[in-house]
């Protein structure tokens, strides 16, 4: 029996192997894009969860300070716009190292109303720094905490009208957070509140009147 070669059969097998390799490469590329998309989505989800956690912590801390001031109305109603006259007034706090240690530890000893305010604000600001990255805080008398465009602002006139009870106290809290502008990249994608730049507004603004019990308001 005479054996003959089949060159067309060989070329067909080579072409089939070539197509199979190309299909594998295309599948790898498609799979890579899918994996990158999943990783990006997971990163965005983690960032959103982190931002929500900080927002919740800031609101909780602000409400805690509100309760402390309402329980210590004698001091909180003091219309002096300086911390010396009203320990609850906080001017551009960013650094725990600048805090003055309170004269009394009111967690274990009985304190006067003023000493209690000093102890409470010291402890509260420490917790703000521990829970919020790059925190900035203002607590001041401010009847206009929002600008002409309705956006919160750091500026505090600290010149309350002498009324009974005195004018509104506002708690303003900011921290390093992601920009809501999704097109922002690099440094502009992160908002860092600093005392030298008011372009990054406070993220939480809580106005209150320490002379009014909120449970009696209708």
pLDDT 10s digits, 114-163: 999 999 999 999 999 999 999 999 998 888 889 889 999 998 876 555 45
Strand order of the sheet with strand 169-174? 90-93, 136-141, 169-174, 204-208
Weakest-pLDDT range from 1-5, 46-50, 93-97, 145-149: 1-5
Report whether pLDDT(182) > 70. no
Asked if pLDDT for residue 169 goes beyond 70, the answer is yes
Query: What is the predicted pLDDT for the residue at 85?
Result: 75
Rounded mean pLDDT of 8-16? 52
Please list, in sequence order, all residues whose beta carbon lies within 8 angstroms of the beta carbon of residue 38, skipping any fewer than 6 positions away: none
Q: What pLDDT, on the 0 to 100 scale, is given for residue 217?
A: 40
pLDDT for residue 216? 45
Indicate the pTM of the whole model.
0.71
Q: For residue 214, what pLDDT is reported?
A: 45
Give the whole-number percent of the chain exceeding pLDDT 90. Answer: 32
Structure tokens at 9: 């059969």
109 near 103, Cβ under 8 Å?
no
d(CA 214, CA 198): 31
């Amino acid at each position: 029996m005479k054996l003959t070669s089949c060159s067309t059969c060989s070329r067909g097998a080579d072409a089939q192997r070539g197509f199979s390799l190309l299909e594998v490469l295309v599948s790898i590329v498609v799979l890579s894009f899918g994996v990158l998309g999943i990783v990006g989505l997971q990163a965005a989800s983690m960032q959103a969860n982190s931002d929500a956690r900080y927002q919740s912590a800031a609101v909780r801390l602000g409400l805690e300070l509100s309760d402390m001031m309402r329980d210590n109305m004698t001091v909180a109603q003091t219309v002096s716009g300086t911390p010396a006259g009203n320990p609850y007034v906080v001017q551009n706090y960013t650094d725990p190292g600048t805090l003055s240690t309170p004269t009394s530890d009111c967690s274990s000893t009985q304190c006067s109303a003023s000493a209690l305010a000093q102890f409470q604000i010291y402890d509260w600001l420490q917790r703000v720094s521990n829970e919020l990255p790059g925190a900035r805080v203002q607590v001041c008398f401010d009847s206009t905490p929002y600008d002409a465009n309705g956006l919160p602002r750091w500026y505090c006139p600290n010149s309350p009208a002498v009324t009974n009870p005195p004018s509104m106290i506002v708690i303003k809290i900011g921290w390093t957070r992601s920009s809501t502008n999704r097109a922002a990249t690099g440094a502009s994608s992160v908002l860092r509140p600093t005392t030298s730049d008011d372009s990054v507004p406070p993220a939480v603004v809580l106005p209150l009147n320490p002379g009014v019990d909120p449970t009696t308001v209708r």
